[in-house]
Amino acid sequence: MKKNKLTLYIFIALILGVVVGYIYNVAVLKDYNNKISAAETTIKVIDNKLVLLKDTNAVVYKDLKKEKSAQAKIRKENDTIRESKVQYFTLLSDIFLRLIKMIVAPLVFTTLVVGVAKVGDIKAVGRIGGKTLLWFLSATLVSLLLGMVLVNLFQPGHEMHLMLPDSHLGTDIQKSALSLKDFISHVFPKSFFESMSNNEILQIVVFALFFGVATASIGPMGEIVVKAFDAIAHVILKITGYVMKLAPLAVFGAITAIVAKQGLSILSTYAIFIGEFYFSLIILWCVIILAGFFVLRARAFKLVSSIKDAMLVAFGTSTSEAAYPRVLIEMERFGCSNKIVSFVLPLGYSFNLDGSMMYMTFASLFLAQSYGIHLSFAQQLTMLLTLMLTSKGIAGVPRASLVVIAGTIAMFGIPEAGLALLIGIDPLLDMGRSATNVLGNAMATAVVSKWEGELTNGNPIPVEDL
């Protein structure tokens, strides 16, 4: 009953957030939004003129630079005022997300140590890891391929006829093509406490694997550690129950702030792209559930019902991390083994971001279409494989999807300036991506549990713990 109420409250918060955000946008932020929009339009016009001028010492060039600086100042001032006007809404989601981040690292560490110590055998850990990565890589490839097929089918870049930023211009998004050295440093910790304080999930997983195997290997003395960590994990799960009571407020604050700043007009401007992307996500959901059905049968649908409130939290706050503690609880209630859940879920948050994967190919090829750049099938496959490699291990990077896209499109002659077309609507798209990531990780956990013969009829966690 409590769970159903939470889902209802989160859904109500979503609706209220849209309504209040729209009213706030029209009544309070309209003037500031208009000034920001006018300044951005003027800056684009000036940038296009500057590109055409060859003599950087000409008076006209200097005047245009001064005008651009003045407009940039106007945009920054109004953006600062706008942020201050919505800060009371964003505080609601910020408090919730900070509390979630407080929980995630110790929860991952304690549950994984207990899970690995109970497995005991390093060969069993390797077997579970192999099956997990097999599912993750397959899901990633399918998500990327589906994004590529659907964006070629829909052709949103050709249909929308948007005013394009000049191809010579840049953006403030940092490019990222994760090198092997970067990846290694992102995976292997140099300090456990640094990894915990920075919420570096992959590094915590690596240390927890060593810690868990070592704990199992020292016999009876290790049982004391396992019991202690098991108790700590249950305490943290109890804290999770308290924090989740704030989820509706967090969702309301996040949605209100997004709609208040963006308004609903952006939906009409980008209706084709947003509509087609969300339709593509629905198709991806069907593929994920169908894949799960082959292994779990009818229980795949029960799983979706079990995690719907966690998906709503991820949707409302635009981050799948916010749903992690709730998903962990629900997966154990669903009947997944504790050792499988604590192993698969943390890895999934770096290696199995299905919604983000689809977005990367969808958005990259959308930009190519917008600029009239034809990419052959071979080039598109190369882009797909590049995205598959460069996207791994950057789950903690802000605007991770845009960062990876920025580092990839330049290789295929697509102007980086095109990212300006996506920045405004990225928060709206991130909501769907985050919810999809939650579904993908939950399904992966259930499937690996089934493969290992560790899936029961469920309810190992009492309802009162939720």
How far apart are the C-alpha atoms of 322 and 195, rounded to whole Å? 18
The amino acid at 23:
I
Residues in CB range of 266: below 8 A, 6 or more apart: 424, 425, 428
- Quickly list DSSP for 313-328: HHHHHT-GGGGHHHHH
Inter-residue contact 286 to 293 (CB < 8 Å): no
Per-residue pLDDT, 405: 85
Per-residue pLDDT, 347: 84
Inter-residue contact 12 to 242 (CB < 8 Å): no
Annotate 222-246 with b (16+ C-beta within 10 A) or e (fewer): beebbeebbebbeebbebbeebbeb
Cα→Cα distances 320→213, 290, 405, 431, 438, Å = 29, 22, 19, 9, 6
Tokens 């390093």 belong to which residue? Answer: 122
420 token code pair: 């300006």
Q: Please, how many CA atoms are within 13 Å of residue 347, restricted to the half-sphere of its CB? A: 24
Tokens 């304080």 belong to which residue? Answer: 197
Backbone angles phi and psi of 412, in degrees to 5: -115, 20
Tokens 């909501």 belong to which residue? Answer: 431
How far apart are the C-alpha atoms of 427 and 258, rounded to whole Å? 7
The amino acid at 334:
F
How far apart are the C-alpha atoms of 159 and 273, rounded to whole Å? 9
How far apart are the C-alpha atoms of 439 and 303, rounded to whole Å? 9
Alpha carbon of residue 211 to chain centroid: 29
266 closest CA partner among 401, 427, 416: 427
- Quickly list DSSP for 267-300: HHHTHHHHHHHHHHHHHHHHHHHHHHHHHHTTHH
* 2-465: in CATH 1.10.3860.10: yes
Alpha carbon of residue 239 to chain centroid: 24
Inter-residue contact 29 to 85 (CB < 8 Å): yes
Per-residue pLDDT, 318: 86
How far apart are the C-alpha atoms of 194 and 29, rounded to whole Å? 40
How far apart are the C-alpha atoms of 167 and 151, rounded to whole Å? 22
Per-residue pLDDT, 247: 92
Per-residue pLDDT, 179: 60
Per-residue pLDDT, 167: 55
CA-angle at 416, arms to 415 and 418, nearest 5°: 75
52 closest CA partner among 163, 38, 60: 60
How far apart are the C-alpha atoms of 307 and 305, rounded to whole Å? 6
Residues in CB range of 366: below 8 A, 6 or more apart: 151, 156, 157, 273
- Terminal-residue alpha carbon distance, the chain: 11
Strands (E), 56-151: none
How far apart are the C-alpha atoms of 437 and 259, rounded to whole Å? 23
Query: Is the Cα torsion angle 168, 433, 326, 87 positive or negative in sign?
Result: positive
Regions of the chain with pLDDT less than 50: 1, 396, 398, 462-466
Per-residue pLDDT, 282: 96
**What is the CB neighbour count within 10 angstroms for residue 365?**
26
Annotate 269-307 with b (16+ C-beta within 10 A) or e (fewer): ebebbbebbeebbeebbeebbebbeebbeebbeebbebb
How far apart are the C-alpha atoms of 321 and 313, rounded to whole Å? 10
The amino acid at 53:
L
**What is the CB neighbour count within 10 angstroms for residue 161?**
9
